[in-house]
């Protein structure tokens, strides 16, 4: 009987911790979309000998995919994201020259680096995301 009470207590405790954790992840009421437009540029930089192959980038539901790429660098055209934009994202794949190869995915907003994601290894996959 005592063993059942302990199990019930432990289970209740973990349920409470889980519920509290989920509630703390709730979006703040004060968060709102961007109130002005922004100029955004996406950049990729791979280490020497690596080869960038694919990139997916954009904002909210305006997504662009570029495939059959090659080389160690790539830069998007400047994109004007409108007021009300919620998120900006980039994800890219590359083949590294060796296990020490790296890939950086960068988001520049109004000329300033705002986010950077990195990957290392022979198979590279880097991403970056920014909420405005």
Of 35 and 74, which is predicted with more confidence? 74
pLDDT average, residue stretch 8-34: 48
CATH fit for domain 38-131, picks 3.30.1640, 3.30.1490, 1.25.40, 2.60.40: 2.60.40
* Average pLDDT score over the chain: 83
Q: Which residues contact 131 (CB under 8 A, 6 or more apart)?
A: 31, 86, 87
Of 128 and 8, which is predicted with more confidence? 128
pLDDT average, residue stretch 52-73: 93
Over the stretch 78-107, which tens digit does the pLDDT of each residue have? 999 999 999 999 999 999 999 999 999 999
On the question of pLDDT at 20 being above 90, the answer is: no
Distance spanning both ends of the chain, measured CA to CA:
55
On the question of pLDDT at 132 being above 90, the answer is: no
What SS3 class is residue 45?
Answer: strand
């Amino acid at each position: 009987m005592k063993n059942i009470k302990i199990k019930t207590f432990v289970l209740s405790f973990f349920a409470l911790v889980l519920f509290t954790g989920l509630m703390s992840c709730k979006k703040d009421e004060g968060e709102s979309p961007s109130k002005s437009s922004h100029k955004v540029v996406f950049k990729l930089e791979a280490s020497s000998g690596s080869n960038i192959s694919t990139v997916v980038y954009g904002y909210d539901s305006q997504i662009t995919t570029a495939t059959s790429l090659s080389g160690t660098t790539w830069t998007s055209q400047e994109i004007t994201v409108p007021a009300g934009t919620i998120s900006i994202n980039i994800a890219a794949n590359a083949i590294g020259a060796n296990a020490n190869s790296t890939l950086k995915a960068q988001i520049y907003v109004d000329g300033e680096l705002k986010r950077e994601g990195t990957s290392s290894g022979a198979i590279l996959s880097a991403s970056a995301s920014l909420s405005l």
